[in-house]
């Protein structure tokens, strides 16, 4: 396979993949339904025209049958009048009309069979369109639910996305600044009262019992 043909295949494959990604299944189904409804409408019109043409043939058959009946009556009248020549002529005309009538009946039956076939196909198409509409409604509902679910999942996923911020590191930095502030506070020069307060606060507290015992021992040593 040549390089350019392979490149064409790759580009075509990527284009198809991009189209599939942006295809809306509901729109595609709706488009298919619209096309089939147009076919159904055209088929019904054609079927109506077909039925009308067969009705015209039925009218022809009715006229032929009436003529056959008239020639039948005319033949009987000629026989009563003993007009053999007329009777034979009427019979001849009658037989010709009956042959046409037979051919017309065959035409009508053939056309009726075709009409029934067309009607069956129209009915099948109507059922197919009805199923497609039901499926469209079902898929539309499922698609809405899926889109809402995806939006919720994306939102929840966003809650877990701290954009690379490490909370532990932030806490350490804040603690460092706090400690730094305390260190600066300790290094501030203190006045006389503050120094006395520090000395008093930092002096160990002496228990009175311990102090009393200490004084007793000191007096005993002086004796």
pTM above 0.85, yes or no: no
CATH number assigned to the domain comprising residue 102:
1.10.287
- The residue range of the domain holding 148 is 3-159
- Domain shared by 41 and 149, yes or no: yes
User: What pLDDT does 88 receive?
Assistant: 94
Which two structure tokens, joined as six digits, stand for 10?
Answer: 């790759």
Total number of domains in the chain: 2
Same domain, 179 and 200: yes
Q: Do 26 and 113 fall within a single domain? A: yes
State the Cα–Cα distance between residues 54 and 107, nearest whole angstrom: 9
What pLDDT score does 151 carry?
81
Q: Do both 72 and 128 map to the same domain?
A: yes
Q: What's the pLDDT tens digit per position in 128-144?
A: 999 998 888 888 888 88
CB contact set of 145 (below 8 Å; sequence gap of 6+): none
Q: Is residue 33 located within the same domain as residue 135?
A: yes
The answer on 127 and 64 residing in a single domain is: yes
- Tokens, residue 212: 């009393």
Task: Specify whether 71 is located in the same domain as 174.
Answer: no
Condensed to tens digits (0 to 9), the pLDDT of residues 74-87 reads 999 999 999 999 99
Q: Which two tokens stand for residue 133?
A: 């509409």
DSSP 8-state secondary structure symbol assigned to residue 188: S
Whether 122 and 204 map to the same domain: the answer is no
150 and 217 fall within a common domain: no
**Residues 120, 70: one domain?**
yes
First-last CA distance in the chain:
122
Q: Which residues of the chain have pLDDT under 70?
A: 1-23, 158-165, 167, 181, 183-208, 210, 223
173 and 206 part of one domain: yes
What pLDDT, on the 0 to 100 scale, is given for residue 41? 93
Cα 165 to the chain's mean position, in Å? 39
How confident is the model at residue 19, as a pLDDT? 45
């Amino acid at each position: 396979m040549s390089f350019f043909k392979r490149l064409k295949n790759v580009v075509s494959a990527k284009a198809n993949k991009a189209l599939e990604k942006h295809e809306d299944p509901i729109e595609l189904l709706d488009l298919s339904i619209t096309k089939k409804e147009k076919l159904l409408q055209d088929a019904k019109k054609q079927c109506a025209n077909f039925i009308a043409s067969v009705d015209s043939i039925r009218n022809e058959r009715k006229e032929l049958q009436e003529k056959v009946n008239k020639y039948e009556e005319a033949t009987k009248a000629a026989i009563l009048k003993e007009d053999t020549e007329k009777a034979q002529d009427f019979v001849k005309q009658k037989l010709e009309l009956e042959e046409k009538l037979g051919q017309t009946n065959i035409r009508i039956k053939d056309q009726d069979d075709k009409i029934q076939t067309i009607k069956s196909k129209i009915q099948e198409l109507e059922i197919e369109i009805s199923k497609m509409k039901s499926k469209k409604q079902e898929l539309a509902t499922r698609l809405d639910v899926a889109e809402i679910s995806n939006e919720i999942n994306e939102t929840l996923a966003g809650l877990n996305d701290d954009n690379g911020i490490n909370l532990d590191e932030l806490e350490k930095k804040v603690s460092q600044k706090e400690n730094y502030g305390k260190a600066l506070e300790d290094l501030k020069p203190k006045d006389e009262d503050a120094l006395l307060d520090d000395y008093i606060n930092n002096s160990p507290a002496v228990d009175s019992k311990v102090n009393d015992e200490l004084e007793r021992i000191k007096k005993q040593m002086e004796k």
